[in-house]
Chains A and B, each alone.
Chain A
Amino acid sequence: MSYNGGGVVAMKGKECVAIASDLRFGIQLQTIGLDFDKIFQAGPKLYVGFPGLATDTQTVHQRLKFRTNLYELRENRKVSPKVYASMVGNLLYEHRFGPYFVEPVVAGLDANNQPYICAFDLIGCANAPDDFVVAGTCEEQMYGMCESLWKPDLGPEELFEVISQALVNACDRDAISGWGARVYVIEKDKVTVRNVRTRMD
């Protein structure tokens, strides 16, 4: 899990959610790429991040896309965040004894525009709290930052500031995370994606 490094954090706000990831792609201590976003879009207001082993980041995303594409074709409707989270956990547990080395983070708004966040361990144990979720090589640092900066009912602008500070400062205390960051703020009528300047080391 610490071969490539990286971190993802998601937070709930007032009628909005935010999810952020660092952009480093590295192999052990050598940094190779600066635009390896670990967050992907799974629906109009649903985003998911896969921090961990980079090859599994890509593969799990592709395999989930396979499943959600079929779901959307069969059922003629988009996946809701809870159902998507269920599918993530299901996929991971299918590989219980030869797992994917990712710890997914799901963030989105449900049909009533209520915020939903969820994090998983590598074998599919779900955790859907009311405040924030973190995952990656700098998760302990992120826990500290989120615990002190987060408060309930933050508006979209404030949420952006809080999640950015949490991610950036946590990555600064981790050698293999950082080298740029991208933050997604999901509101009921728009999604704003911003690149955040970080220390490039």
Chain B
Amino acid sequence: MAGTSERYSFSLTTFSPSGKLVQIEYALGAVASGAPTIGIKATNGVVLATEKKHKSFLCDESSVWKIESITPNIGMCYSGMGPDYRLLVKNARKAAQTYLLQYGEQIPTIQLVQRVANVMQEYTHSGGVRPFGVSLLICGWDNGKPALLQCDPSGSFFPWKATAMGKNFTTGKTFLEKRYNPDIELQDAIHTAILALKESFEGQMTAENIELGLVTERGFRRLTVPEVQDYLANVL
């Protein structure tokens, strides 16, 4: 089995005999070994939570963020390779502005996800490139409704009510399956997201080594360190 997979990992345009695109499997492996990210859709908003562990205490945590805003109403986070993520953020922002220029309206979340997923798919269909080593969690607020979607290295996208990505994502998903209910409100969802993150957290969770992002009818924002500190104090 291992022999067959290795033979087909040098070029992306070939399928393995079993019908798999092995590079995508490997890319998903890169995602599964990345830092955990949680997303929960509540009735009045969506929360994104992610672990931001730095390699040494010399790192300046406040200079680089994982959770990024794409438009005033849409935010994004990832699990996997940071540099690949940066490119997709740039792409997504440009796609959103192009839409605004043409239609005079902010891009709906689903439309943005389709455009980003399309880019990710192209990298599985072109020569000489490798797929993106990230899965994205994109959250947004359109016309009074919250939206949460995941984009995979293959280019497929899924709408979620709640999900976990990255390390120990199966544990995370099981946790969420138990704790999620369709009437959950945002404050509850934030609490649950932090707990879900804590399930697979090694060491002490502080406001500096996690990030929280919220989208509500007022739009998307990343929470400041003091705000994250407040939520943590309630949970821990």
Contact = CB atoms under 8 A, between A and B. Distances in A.
Contact of B111 (A75, A80, A82): A75
A74 B111 contact: yes
A80 B103 CA distance: 10
A86 B102 contact: yes
Main secondary structure of the interface of A (DSSP, over half): helix
Contacts of B102: 86-87, 90
Contacts of A87: 102-103
Nearest to A126: B104
Interface residues on A, range: 10 to 19
A85 interface: yes
Contacts of A90: 101-102
A193 interface: no
A189 to B, nearest CB: 23
A75 B108 contact: yes
B14 interface: no
Interface residues of B, number: 8
A86 B105 contact: yes
A83 B108 CA distance: 13
Interface in A5-40: none
B111 A83 contact: no
Contacts of A85: 104
A140 B132 CA distance: 59
B103 A83 contact: yes
Main secondary structure of the interface of B (DSSP, over half): helix
B91 interface: no
B114 interface: yes
Contacts of A80: 105
Contacts of B105: 80, 82-83, 86
A74 B114 CA distance: 9
Interface in A60-86: 71, 74-75, 80, 82-83, 85-86
A71 B99 CA distance: 11
A113 to B, nearest CB: 17
B208 to A, nearest CB: 40
B111 A86 contact: no
Contacts of A71: 103
A142 B114 CA distance: 46
A74 B111 CA distance: 8
B114 A83 contact: no
Contacts of B114: 74
A74 B108 CA distance: 11
A82 B105 CA distance: 9
A73 to B, nearest CB: 12
Nearest to B110: A75
Nearest to B102: A90
Interface string B79-106: 0000000000000000000000111110
Contacts of A86: 102-105
Given A74-B114, A75-B108, A87-B103, 13 more contacts: A71-B103, A74-B111, A80-B105, A82-B105, A83-B103, A83-B104, A83-B105, A86-B102, A86-B103, A86-B104, A86-B105, A87-B102, A90-B102
Interface of B: 101-105, 108, 111, 114
20 contacts: A71-B103, A74-B111, A74-B114, A75-B108, A75-B111, A80-B105, A82-B104, A82-B105, A83-B103, A83-B104, A83-B105, A85-B104, A86-B102, A86-B103, A86-B104, A86-B105, A87-B102, A87-B103, A90-B101, A90-B102
Interface of A: 71, 74-75, 80, 82-83, 85-87, 90
